Amino acid sequence: MKKFLTITLLTLVMMAFVACGGNSSGKKDKDPTDPTNPTEPTNPTDPTNPTDPTEPTEGPADNCTGISVDWETLSQYEYINQFVATNDDYDPVVLISFFQDMDTGAITAGTYDLAAGDNANYKTCTECVLVYADYDEEEGYAKTYYQKSGTITVDAVDDSNNIKGTIAAKLIEVTIDEDDYTSTPVAGGSCIEIETAAFDSREEECVPQCEEGWECGNDGCGGECNGGCDGQACNEDHQCVAWECDTLEIGEAFISGYSYYAPVIDNAAGDTSLADMLELEFTYYYPAEGTFDLSLSYDDAYYAMFLLEDLVEDEDGYLSATKLYFQESGELEFTEVYSSSFESKGHASFRVVEVDAETLEPVAGGKCYNIENFTWDTVCVPQCEEGWACGDDGCGGTCGDGCGELACGENHQCVTRECEEITLDTSNIEFDDYYGIYSMSYTPNTGDTEIADFFQLQPFTYDVVGTFDLAGTNYSDDEGVFIFIREDNRAKSYFQWKGTVVLSDYDEETSGITAQLTGVSVEEVVIDTSTWSTVPVAGGKCYDIKDTTFTYTAPAEDD
């Protein structure tokens, strides 16, 4: 177990910001030369690396300012011997590390003087406390503090190296050498204090709730009482009995999102006046040819079967199931699959049992159903008539060879384009930091003039700065710059078919950017959400975007 550069803690907070935000590329990897991602240093216990502490010069120890963190947030950080506690704005951050066993990271209970012996310097400490404070988005943490006095008591250590204890300490502002970790007090630096605080990073121990005589059932801790029933059902009395399951017939499957859905014939499960639905969920994104065991748990399964019984609609229009069922046994086979899509053919026979919607644990005395031969064929058949030169084929592709820079007319023949010109309103640009999209309105209002329209530009590329030719592109491309017009609040979508975009002055920290659009035109499309393919609509409209340059600058944060 090695000691690490203190600056690596900056990645903790930066990860927190990235998780809530992101960058406009949508694909960027971390720069390997980033100083917050240093190479691992040598082991400080190496005999070539002296362990004698560098005695610090005296720093301030009195008149210290108290700090406030939420000690309930204390948790392991990256390694089992390091713990972090902070607050909602990640300023300050307390890092507690134990280097008592450099090989395993094991922590020994006891009370430790934070100023005595090796603990007098971060280079050699075995019980180490650092505090990072005064965070700035551009510069990171302005100040680092290391223990000057105090104690830390570890009362208990569990099997996962989580700890319970108390701490009281004064810390002084220091700099830490990135090569050998020597901590040196800052002349005239400040002093902070952790007043006596209790901490406990252990999870509350779950006590199984199994009554005497129970053979099975959920124990309340993610397990089964008495090991459960191997190959049998668990009845209301928590006894193992033979399965008694009704049989359901399943209708034709269809694709929606990342799942297949198929209706239960005659709504035969539960209340026959309410719809029932079978769901085949892709836990690993795309189907793959082969036969798969359905007796596995959700976490271990490649594909998961759910039965949604008695679907009801809430006031927001969302459907939910009164009861949920999950696979108990059986198998499914994909006999034919299409790469990079959800289309496939296959069949499955299996049993589903009633489960708790949150834990997926079987409900004692719950119902069960057998599905004896569920078959599906979601392979899309193109709907192109003889003689069509263009247009949507209904399967995310184009009939014929397409029209290039011509339009696809209502008769599915290529015709000369006649596009209305629109002008972007660059006075109010909005940036969606989750998807990395720049948006603004345009004039005139197209479609229904009572409903808002907007323009979108999404750089989806490793190299944001550069010149991008829009001709021949598709939203399903692995990378590029993508332009949409969303008409009548997305009732219709238009995607680029020609023009160039030049991106410059990109600021990765703020997502500030300058974009120059030249000769850009968009055409009406349909979007296949399973592949993100954009296909021109036969007889659809098109728009020419007036040549323009816009600059987005991130708004200043409120104090």
10 Å Cβ neighbour count for 404? 12
Q: Is 422 exposed, middle or buried (0-12, 13-18, 19+ CB in 10 A)?
A: buried
Indicate the range of 173-187, 241-255, 308-322, 431-445 predicted with least confidence.
308-322
Using only the alpha carbons of the chain, give its radius of gyration: 31
What's the pLDDT tens digit per position in 448-493? 999 999 999 999 998 999 999 999 899 988 899 999 999 999 999 9
Residue 386 lies in a domain: no
H or E, element range at 16: helix 10-20
Instruction: Name residues whose C-beta falls within 8 Å of residue 5's C-beta, 6 or more positions apart in sequence.
Output: 38, 41, 176, 178, 181
Q: If you average pLDDT over residues 132-140, what whole number do you get?
A: 87
What's the pLDDT tens digit per position in 506-551? 999 899 999 999 999 999 999 887 678 898 888 889 999 999 999 9
Interior angle at CA 56, CA 53 and CA 58, nearest 5: 150
- The position carrying tokens 């198998």 is 331
DSSP states of 330-360 as a string? EEEEEEEE-TTSS-EEEEEEEEEEEE-TTT-
Residue 443 has pLDDT above 80, yes or no: yes
Band (pLDDT 50/70/90 cuts) for residue 27 is very low
Band (pLDDT 50/70/90 cuts) for residue 556 is confident
DSSP 176: E
What is the pLDDT at residue 17? 31
Residue 437 lies in a domain: yes
Residues 324 and 280 in one domain: yes
Q: If you average pLDDT over residues 252-257, what whole number do you get?
A: 87
Residues 53 and 194 in one domain: yes
DSSP 227: G
CA distances to 153, 206, 219, 305 from 209, rounded to whole Å, are 33, 9, 5, 28
What is the length of the chain?
A: 559
Instruction: Name residues whose C-beta falls within 8 Å of residue 476's C-beta, 6 or more positions apart in sequence.
Output: 528, 531, 532, 533, 534
What's the pLDDT tens digit per position in 347-382? 999 999 999 888 888 888 889 999 998 999 988 888
Closest CA to 27 of 432, 434, 462: 462
- Residue 522, φ and ψ in degrees, nearest 5: -125, 150
Residues 146 and 88 in one domain: yes
What is the pLDDT at residue 292? 94
Tokens linked to 2 = 């090695």
Which carries the bigger pLDDT value, residue 346 or residue 63?
346
Residue 474 lies in a domain: yes
CA distances to 289, 420, 423, 492 from 488, rounded to whole Å, are 42, 16, 16, 7
DSSP 151: E
What's the pLDDT tens digit per position in 150-172? 999 999 999 889 999 999 999 99
Residues 413 and 292 in one domain: no
Q: How many structural domains does the chain have?
A: 3
Band (pLDDT 50/70/90 cuts) for residue 345 is very high
Residues 357 and 438 in one domain: no
- Residue 118 belongs to domain spanning: 6-200
Residues 42 and 172 in one domain: yes
Torsion of CA 240, 244, 248, 254, to 10 degrees: 10
Residues 332 and 450 in one domain: no
Closest CA to 365 of 242, 239, 234: 234
Band (pLDDT 50/70/90 cuts) for residue 36 is very low
Q: If you average pLDDT over residues 14-19, what whole number do you get?
A: 34
Indicate the range of 149-158, 231-240, 257-266 predicted with least confidence.
231-240
H or E, element range at 15: helix 10-20
Report the C-alpha gap between 270 and 266 in whole angstroms: 11
Residue 484 lies in a domain: yes
**Average pLDDT over all residues of the chain:** 84
Q: Is 397 exposed, middle or buried (0-12, 13-18, 19+ CB in 10 A)?
A: middle
What is the pLDDT at residue 61? 53
Residues 21 and 168 in one domain: yes
Band (pLDDT 50/70/90 cuts) for residue 12 is very low
Residue 149 has pLDDT above 70, yes or no: yes
- Would you say 502 and 548 are in contact if contact means Cβ atoms under 8 Å apart? no
Report the C-alpha gap between 218 and 206 in whole angstroms: 13
Tokens linked to 511 = 């997502």
What is the pLDDT at residue 57? 37
Residues 528 and 449 in one domain: yes
Instruction: Name residues whose C-beta falls within 8 Å of residue 61's C-beta, 6 or more positions apart in sequence.
Output: 148, 149, 170, 172, 191
Tokens linked to 204 = 């509350």
Closest CA to 303 of 291, 316, 320: 291
Tokens linked to 11 = 């990645």
Residues 373 and 466 in one domain: no
The H helix count followed by the E strand count for the chain is: 1, 35
Would you call 184 helix, strand, or coil by DSSP? strand
DSSP 433: T
Q: Which of 334, 357, 377 is the last residue of a domain?
A: 377
Band (pLDDT 50/70/90 cuts) for residue 339 is low
Q: Is 64 exposed, middle or buried (0-12, 13-18, 19+ CB in 10 A)?
A: buried
Residue 220 lies in a domain: no
Q: Give me the amino acid identity at 218.
A: N
Interior angle at CA 31, CA 29 and CA 34, nearest 5: 140
Closest CA to 453 of 461, 444, 462: 444
Which carries the bigger pLDDT value, residue 126 or residue 38?
126
Closest CA to 121 of 178, 57, 166: 57
- Residue 10, φ and ψ in degrees, nearest 5: -55, -30
What's the pLDDT tens digit per position in 183-226? 999 999 999 999 999 999 988 777 888 988 898 888 877 778 88
Residue 399 lies in a domain: no
Instruction: Express as a percent the part of the chain with pLDDT over 90.
Output: 53
10 Å Cβ neighbour count for 298? 13
Which carries the bigger pLDDT value, residue 27 or residue 175?
175
Q: If you average pLDDT over residues 6-27, what whole number do you get?
A: 35
What are the b/e assignments for 34-57, b being 16+ CB within 10 Å? eebeeeeeeebeeeeeeeebbebe
Residue 334 lies in a domain: yes
Report the C-alpha gap between 327 and 305 in whole angstroms: 6
Residues 94 and 176 in one domain: yes
- pTM of this prediction? 0.46
Residues 250 and 183 in one domain: no
Instruction: Express as a percent the part of the chain with pLDDT over 70.
Output: 87
Torsion of CA 222, 228, 232, 237, to 10 degrees: -90
Residue 454 lies in a domain: yes
What is the pLDDT at residue 24? 32
What's the pLDDT tens digit per position in 270-305? 999 999 999 999 887 678 889 999 988 888 888 999
Q: Give me the amino acid identity at 128.
A: C
Indicate the range of 44-48, 59-63, 87-91, 124-128 predicted with least confidence.
44-48
- Residue 497, φ and ψ in degrees, nearest 5: -135, -10
Q: What is the 3-state secondary structure (H, E, C) of 483-548?
A: EEEEECCCCEEEEEEEEEEEEECCCCCCCCEEEEEEEEEEEEEEEECCCCEEEECCCCCEEEECCE
